[in-house]
Structure 1
Amino acid sequence: MSYVVDDCHFSTRLSSVSSSALGQKGVMLSLMAKHQIHSDELDAMFAALADPTRRRVIARLGVGPASVGELASPLSISLPSFMKHMRSLESCGLITTEKSGRVRTCVLNHNRFHLLTGWLEEQRRIWEESTDRLEQFVTQEES
Structure 2
Amino acid sequence: MTTLNINGKAQEVDVDPSTPLLWALRDNLDLTGTKFGCGMAACGACTVHINGQATRSCVTPISAAAGARITTIEGVSGDKVGRAVLDAWIKHDVAQCGYCQNGQVMSAVGLLRNKPKPTDADIDQAMAGNLCRCGTYQRIRAAIKDAARALA
Which has the higher Rg, Structure 1 or Structure 2? 1
Q: Which has the higher contact order (CA 8 A, sep 6+)?
A: 2
Give the TM-score normalised by structure 2.
0.25
Q: Point out the structure with the larger helix share.
A: 1
